[in-house]
Structure 1
């Protein structure tokens, strides 16, 4: 079986191949930007560009790539700019002549502001800044996952701050990534799982650890615990359900250890009340471990509170300094039907019943890594200025049928304004005395700025 080798020339939309013939003949430069035009969340957590730059833009164009692209695109019905691509190989060693600037990764930026700018640096191939739109705009995916994960983190943290004695100690493991099997590809698991790790440290998506290490220098970005699944419990048969749980306790129950048991293979309440809280109770307590019970069916809010109440009846709880109950020896993780809405409801119900958010963690799968798209945050890349002759001219669109698609004009950057501290995107010539948040991260094939994941995490911890 032959694998397809990456060809950066073909990592584009078909019609881009014809654009070099469409600009005014005196065009010598092009400037574009990427922004979130709005969307589900009023801010974005910028993340993932460094991965794209290291993974894709670091690969030089070669003559064999040009040969393949010429054959494919001409047969496909498009013109091919062989002279332009050979110029890139011969004059730039195959590296694309562009400068890319961006806000720092992990920074929380209000929507409507430029997050990335890209500018061609060679007038002979000025069109290249727009040609790579598909590659750069795929930052929408890690950015959107990181933004959703961040927004959920704020909701959970708010509940912890009201009900927990240790909000900051609890929050890193409150949302666990269960999404590996629910995404479209291994690459999506790596990218999306890594984006979630900007905000949390719990994951079962192994590929995210490899991506975080390779592209953001994180030796170990996330952690997991031993946990059962329905097959490991039901393999003991219905009559052996308690024996299956006892086996978990004996294999993983050590002082200060943490392990999880799915408990709804047959009858959740029977398992909690008669097995964990009955025949296995003393063994659980003697083990010194914390056992995490996982309900996995039914209405999430209903079953979560029923499980907590049953565990409280069996094992008891202590009341913290804020007046909320914290379970002894046990916790709950809910991972079925979990999204931002069900998390909100569960946290509200726990609080109303007098329980701390300490008692529960959440596992989120497809809703975390797959149920997002480019329109979730309305991500777009647009050209805003072209150099014609020696003059930069504004380029923009303003469709009367959709004012929301009005694009920005001119050569831009994103600033923190001196007077009020608000983040705004301004014309470069209008931004005197403002703090420029953007920095050059890539120029002509070289990564200029490289952030470790820990630095990205620190930025994301600053609330907007």
Structure 2
């Protein structure tokens, strides 16, 4: 039996990478590769590199790692560069002789621009930038895609609040992360949910709080919040005939001045719950409790259900008209829609709600699988490609340009990211960097050392918090 651990960086790669060290031309010294999102519906919000460096590149590779990797890789049917890995341990103490440069985390960049670039710092390890592709690309594409989707949703909600609400003060709480249970792993939750917190301050993924503390200097500040909330079991445990008592218990347990709590209200009949329980037998309790009841539908067509819920609540509790001319429910009752939310459905729901005359401030959203799980490498067409190689002291551009897919054409040369005179971001060759121009790619990691450590607060500010 061949055993190893998941933190063995040598095994954190694709199988075919193990044979690439003998495939490069003789005299190869340096290889420069870059990462970009080639296309997509969202601007890139860059995030996650610091977490990866701290978690995986700050611990040196050991001879034990090499022994374990060799046994597994050779049994797997592949060649193994034992001499190269041993040389890395003996010469560099097991730390990767790499230079990783990237744009600052939280930066917003149009697609088809370089966001990260990696090159080896020791010519003996020309094969290393490519070897780390699997782990490095994954470390960037997933959190950056989640952060980009979340940021796009924030733009939709911001626009709606600016049009239909007196202010947008509540924006950072308008999209709540419900994705923990639907994510593929705990690490996915840690990374993905934390990426959402670049844009918002609402989550039910407590793992994200641990991740913030571990990787992004949370200090004593709490980066996100939640409220007490019911699930179906805590309501149905009272039985259909006890639904009123279940709802009354929520008011008793969690009501109070300045407090908010959420109650899933469609275990049986949402319309009965709104018309006859919340807006009927418990109406005075809701009005007088001092806090905010957030009613949660959990089934049906989201746009139709949210609109009808607001209309029925308006009948029972009344509304006021704000300065923008939209109806607003009393402060003590709101709606949260957490079922079936995606960037597309979110926009549709808001449109339907506002066309019905209601302000977007009446509704909060919860996003689960659509946030953390319904994304993949191809959502924004992420890729890491080699773009330049130094052979016998001479740099040359390298690229792919498949005739069957021009969209997969890769960039050439060592790259830089600059802002032009029109304040637009543009990827250029590093050799063509104008005198005095700033390269927005900055050194983040060199030879085992993390050079820049940003707090979540700093990253949020860059992302337009």
For the criterion TM > 0.5, the same-fold answer is yes
**For 1:304-363, what per-residue CA distance to the aligned partner results, in whole angstroms no more than 9, with x for missing partners?**
011111111111122111111111020000011111122111111111121111100011
Unaligned runs of 5+ in 1: none
Q: Which residue of 1 aligns with 2:257?
A: 255
State the secondary structure of the residue aligned to 2:80. Answer: coil
1:213–1:220 Cα contact (<8 Å) kept: no
Q: Say yes or no: does 1:242 pair with 2:244.
A: yes
TM-score, with length taken from structure 2: 0.97
Q: Say yes or no: does 1:44 pair with 2:44.
A: yes
**For 1:243-290, what per-residue CA distance to the aligned partner results, in whole angstroms no more than 9, with x for missing partners?**
000000000001111000110011101101110011111111111011
State the secondary structure of the residue aligned to 1:208. Answer: helix
Q: Say yes or no: does 1:338 pair with 2:341.
A: yes
Q: Which residue of 2 aligns with 1:357?
A: 360
Matches of 1:342 and 1:108 in 2, distance apart?
A: 24
Q: Which one is further off, 128-137 or 310-319? A: 310-319
Q: Which residue of 1 aligns with 2:161?
A: 160
Q: Say yes or no: does 1:430 pair with 2:435.
A: no
Q: Which residue of 1 aligns with 2:321?
A: 319
Q: Say yes or no: does 1:366 pair with 2:360.
A: no
Q: Which residue of 2 aligns with 1:9?
A: 10
Matches of 2:310 and 2:438 in 1, distance apart?
A: 49
Q: Which residue of 2 aligns with 1:403?
A: 406
- Tell me the CA shift for residue 435 of structure 1: 2.5
Q: Which residue of 1 aligns with 2:142?
A: 141
Q: 1:448 aligns with which of 440, 447, 451?
A: 451
Q: Which residue of 2 aligns with 1:182?
A: 182
Q: Which residue of 1 aligns with 2:95?
A: 95
**For 1:87-138, what per-residue CA distance to the aligned partner results, in whole angstroms no more than 9, with x for missing partners?**
1111111000000000111111011110000010011112111110011101
Unaligned runs of 5+ in 2: none
Q: Say yes or no: does 1:391 pair with 2:394.
A: yes
Matches of 2:59 and 2:364 in 1, distance apart?
A: 41
**For 1:130-164, what per-residue CA distance to the aligned partner results, in whole angstroms no more than 9, with x for missing partners?**
11001110111000000001001100100000011
**For 1:362-410, what per-residue CA distance to the aligned partner results, in whole angstroms no more than 9, with x for missing partners?**
1111111000000000000000111111111111111111111111111
- Tell me the CA shift for residue 5 of structure 1: 4.4
State the secondary structure of the residue aligned to 1:211. Answer: helix
**Structure 2 matches for 1:373-388, cutoff 5 A?**
373-388=376-391
- Tell me the CA shift for residue 8 of structure 1: 0.4
Q: Which residue of 2 aligns with 1:305?
A: 307
CA RMSD of aligned residues (A): 1.1
- Tell me the CA shift for residue 4 of structure 1: 3.2
Q: Which residue of 2 aligns with 1:264?
A: 266
> How many equivalent pairs are there?
458
- Tell me the CA shift for residue 40 of structure 1: 3.1
1:324–1:356 Cα contact (<8 Å) kept: yes
**For 1:158-202, what per-residue CA distance to the aligned partner results, in whole angstroms no more than 9, with x for missing partners?**
0000011111x1111111111011111111111110011111111
**Structure 2 matches for 1:203-222, cutoff 5 A?**
203-218=203-218, 219-222=221-224
State the secondary structure of the residue aligned to 1:435. Answer: coil
State the secondary structure of the residue aligned to 2:399. Answer: coil
State the secondary structure of the residue aligned to 2:358. Answer: coil
Matches of 2:106 and 2:205 in 1, distance apart?
A: 21
- Tell me the CA shift for residue 3 of structure 1: 8.3
List, as ranges, runs of 4+ consecutive aligned residues in structure 1 with deviation greater than 6 Å. none
Matches of 2:82 and 2:256 in 1, distance apart?
A: 66
Q: 1:348 aligns with which of 351, 362, 367?
A: 351
- Tell me the CA shift for residue 58 of structure 1: 1.2
1:213–1:221 Cα contact (<8 Å) kept: no
Matches of 2:211 and 2:461 in 1, distance apart?
A: 19
